[in-house]
Amino acid sequence: MRIGEVAERAGVSRRSLRYYEQQGLIEVRRSPSGQRLYEEDHVRRVRLIQTFYAAKLTSATIAELIPCMERSPSRAVAQRAQAVMERERGRLRVAVKELSAAVTALDELIDATAAHRPGPRSPRDSDPYGMVTGGSVEGEDLVRARVCSVT
């Protein structure tokens, strides 16, 4: 399979595929003329790499996990990768808790702001995104005070 097909199927750019190869995250065979030749398994691996990047793992950390993506890693390699995965899982759990707290704080701010905002008087009082313009100064002060007190 050629680079364009893998990029399309995995939902990444060709440049990303070349970067993954440079970082040692994927290994690619070459044709006699030097073109990259990908296997079906590359699509799965690239999607997994993308998931790890979305979880804020670094290239170096992902590289530590590569042995577990292989069909049959040695016991020692699997144990090292297991430790990395457990460390990252703990880090992600902390991040999820922090994001959950941020969502809760935003919910409270939205509720507080909505309680002090008068409804739109006419269609001109709303911006193109449906947000009410104007509003009470008292409500804005309340939001500022709550933002400063949220930790």
Query: 81: closest CA among 63, 69, 65?
Result: 65
CATH number at residue 25: 1.10.1660.10
- Encode pLDDT of 54-83 as tens digits: 988 999 999 888 877 776 778 888 888 889
Residue 144 has pLDDT above 50, yes or no: no
How many structural domains is the chain composed of? Answer: 2
Residue 121 has pLDDT above 90, yes or no: no
3-state secondary structure of 30: strand
- Encode pLDDT of 38-60 as tens digits: 999 999 999 999 999 998 899 99
For the whole prediction, is pTM greater than 0.85?
A: no
Q: 53 and 19, same structural domain? A: yes
Q: 4 and 41, same structural domain? A: yes
| Residue 120 banded pLDDT, cuts 50, 70, 90 | low
Contacts of 68 (CB under 8 A, 6+ apart): 77, 78, 81, 82, 85
**Beta bridge mates, 29:** 37
What was the pLDDT predicted at 136?
Answer: 43
Residue 10 has pLDDT above 80, yes or no: yes
Domain annotation covers residue 98:
yes
What was the pLDDT predicted at 15?
Answer: 97
- Encode pLDDT of 20-31 as tens digits: 999 999 999 999
Residue 139 has pLDDT above 50, yes or no: no
Domain annotation covers residue 97:
yes
* Structural domain containing residue 29: 1-57
- Cα 113 to chain centroid distance, Å, stands at 29
Per-residue exposure over 36-73, b if at least 16 CB sit within 10 Å of its own CB, e if not = bebeeebbebbebbeebbeeebebebbebbbbebeeee
Q: 24 and 53, same structural domain? A: yes
Task: Write the DSSP string, 43-69.
Answer: HHHHHHHHHHHHTT--HHHHHHHHHHH
